[in-house]
């Protein structure tokens, strides 16, 4: 009998269609039932129509269901895949724009920092509702989470939702490709390989460990050579990365270890690179949003959604993709399901609860480490101690995540403000009163998506009003940020329709060149 996979947040064109294609590229999974669920009936039906057409073209017995009833979608599921963005682009806009008024300039805003913390406040109640439906309707199902803020969501599902959860991110794979590229350029220059020879990720063995979006390559081997001591030199000599990855290379130079996450991401998790607006441009590059553009991910997501809705008739007319194992993406989800169902072993890097795996990070927090999956489940090694500088950086974020999770679960404004206060970049930019007033403003603006704070919202609004009346309202910044680009119209996007369509349909928009 075929498996049932519930996909929550299935109005996400990038993830839903790509993950379905990956799963159905596995011969043993061809008769899977996909129960697609989204709160937007319009988005859901658009994606479901594409998925049904793709399945029919590939002549598979797979079935596509579409419903806005989450409990119905989850009922009887063997796997639940979560790709929700709670509050959508409207809430995301607040995550970027309101902190910017207080001097906090974010590129992504989905992990920690002010935007990531608020994203967690919206997401965690929705994640716990998914867990509750799983306990009632699909006991024993596995939850595979792609939704950010990854660590906070997995932490909440495990500690408060009672559901074993695996968090999945493509950051390690992307950085692994970068490492293969720098080794390739070095090996060619030094005559170790021919001028036209390639070094791929299959040639380079890596292990990374840390926390999501702050994971560190602690092992890199090529031809049985330890490459960690050489990475600083290799990245500095690469033809592109010294321009696009300035923050990552600077951290590599000072820490001795390369971070898995992009330049834009990493720059907002640390207190050093985005704290003064005048300094931000020298640490970023605007050739692609992911290198540090102010509000870059918000812009790209907005453009992708706008283009999908505008260009949708053309998506329906184009030839559907042929499901082929050779064209599967690097996303972990299909490989995990394949391993659990067939026993074919898969090695990846997963976000899981720390149970002594990294000994100098707190037990109970969410870490990202390598693991193996087969029919018996997920096997996770003991990593031991992270290098001290890497552990110190991760530990600061872990405590912010802990405060934010507790705040989200209990609707505790004081804990929320303390999470903001302890965030590395927020603390580098704002004084305590600025943090307090910014948090109140974010609460008021996002009231529609924060049911757990219903009793506290009037107080937040009153405090802002009183501060204005008595002259204690903090000074707010004007302007669009240090490096913000204008969101393009549908007409502008149409100038390069093929590239725009690739971007809109990709689950990893940082890899699609703009």
Joined tokens for residue 360: 């100098």
**Is 335 an annotated catalytic residue?**
no
Inter-axis angle of helices 296-317 and 497-504, to 10 degrees?
A: 110
- Collapse the DSSP code of 289 into the 3-class scheme (helix H, G, I; strand E, B; otherwise coil) and give the result: helix
Closest CA to 211 of 276, 283, 154, 156: 154
Q: Which of 119, 269, 273, 346 is catalytic?
A: 269
Burial class (CB in 10 A: 0-12, 13-18, 19+), 420: buried
CA triple 372-377-379, angle to 5 deg: 40
Q: Which of 94, 170, 176, 422 is catalytic?
A: 170
* CA gap 215, 208 in Å, rounded: 6
Residue 361 near residue 23 (C-beta atoms within 8 A):
no
Instruction: Kindly provide the b/e burial profile for residues 130-163, where b requires at least 16 CB atoms within 10 angstroms of the residue's own CB.
Output: bbbbbeebbeebbbbbbbbbbbbbbbbbbebbeb
Closest CA to 166 of 333, 24, 340: 333
Residue 361 near residue 394 (C-beta atoms within 8 A):
yes
**Helix residue ranges, H only, 138-292:** 150-159, 171-189, 231-236, 241-244, 246-255, 263-269
CA atoms within 13 Å, Cβ hemisphere of 92: 20
Rounded to the nearest 10°, the torsion over CA 61, 43, 67, 313 is: -40
Burial class (CB in 10 A: 0-12, 13-18, 19+), 255: middle
- Collapse the DSSP code of 313 into the 3-class scheme (helix H, G, I; strand E, B; otherwise coil) and give the result: helix
What's the longest Cα–Cα distance across the chain? 72
**Is 146 an annotated catalytic residue?**
no
Which residues are known catalytic residues?
170, 269
């Amino acid at each position: 009998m075929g498996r049932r996979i519930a996909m929550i947040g299935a109005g996400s064109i990038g993830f839903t269609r790509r993950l379905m294609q990956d799963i159905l590229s596995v011969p043993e999974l061809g008769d899977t039932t996909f129960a697609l669920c989204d709160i937007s009936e319009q988005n859901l039906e658009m994606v479901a129509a594409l998925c049904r057409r793709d399945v029919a073209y590939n002549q598979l017995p797979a079935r596509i269901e579409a419903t806005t009833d989450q409990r119905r979608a989850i009922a009887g599921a063997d796997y639940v895949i979560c790709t929700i963005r709670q509050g959508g682009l409207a809430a995301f806009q607040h995550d970027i724009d309101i902190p910017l008024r207080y001097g906090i300039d974010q590129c992504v805003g989905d992990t920690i920092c002010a935007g990531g913390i608020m994203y967690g406040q919206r997401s965690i109640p929705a994640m716990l509702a998914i867990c509750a439906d799983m306990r009632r309707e699909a006991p024993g199902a596995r939850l595979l989470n792609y939704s950010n803020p990854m660590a906070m969501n997995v932490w909440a599902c495990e500690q408060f939702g009672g559901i074993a959860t695996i968090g999945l991110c493509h950051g390690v794979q992307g950085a692994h490709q970068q490492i293969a590229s720098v080794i390739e350029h070095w090996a060619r220059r030094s005559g170790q390989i021919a001028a036209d020879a390639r070094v791929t990720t299959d040639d380079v063995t890596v292990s990374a460990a840390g926390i999501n979006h702050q994971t560190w390559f602690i092992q890199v081997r090529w031809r049985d050579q330890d490459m960690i001591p050489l990475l600083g030199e290799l990245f500095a000599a690469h033809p592109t990365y010294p321009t696009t990855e300035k923050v990552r290379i600077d951290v590599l130079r000072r820490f001795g270890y390369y971070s898995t996450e992009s330049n834009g991401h990493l720059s907002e998790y640390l207190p050093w690179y985005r704290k003064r607006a005048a300094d931000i441009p020298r640490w970023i590059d605007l050739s692609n949003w992911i290198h540090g553009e102010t509000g870059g991910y918000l812009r790209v997501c907005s453009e992708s959604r706008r283009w999908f809705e505008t260009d949708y008739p053309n998506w329906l007319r184009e030839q559907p993709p042929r499901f082929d194992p050779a064209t599967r993406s690097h996303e972990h989800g299909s490989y995990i399901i394949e391993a659990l169902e067939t026993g074919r072993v898969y090695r990846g890097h997963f976000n899981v609860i720390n149970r002594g795996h990294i000994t100098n990070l707190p037990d109970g927090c969410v870490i990202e480490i390598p693991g193996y999956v087969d029919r018996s489940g997920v096997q996770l090694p003991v990593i031991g101690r992270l290098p001290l500088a890497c552990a110190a950086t991760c530990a600061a974020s872990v405590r912010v995540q802990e405060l934010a999770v507790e705040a989200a679960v209990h609707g505790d404004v004081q804990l929320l403000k303390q999470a903001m206060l302890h965030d590395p970049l927020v603390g580098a930019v704002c004084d305590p009163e600025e943090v307090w007033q910014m948090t109140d403003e974010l609460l008021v603006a996002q009231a529609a998506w924060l049911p757990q704070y219903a009793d506290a919202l009037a107080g937040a609004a009153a405090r802002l009003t009183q501060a204005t009346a008595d002259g204690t309202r903090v000074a707010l910044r004007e302007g669009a940020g240090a490096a913000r680009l204008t969101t393009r119209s549908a007409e502008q996007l149409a100038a390069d329709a093929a590239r725009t369509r690739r971007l809109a349909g990709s689950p990893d928009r940082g890899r699609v060149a703009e």
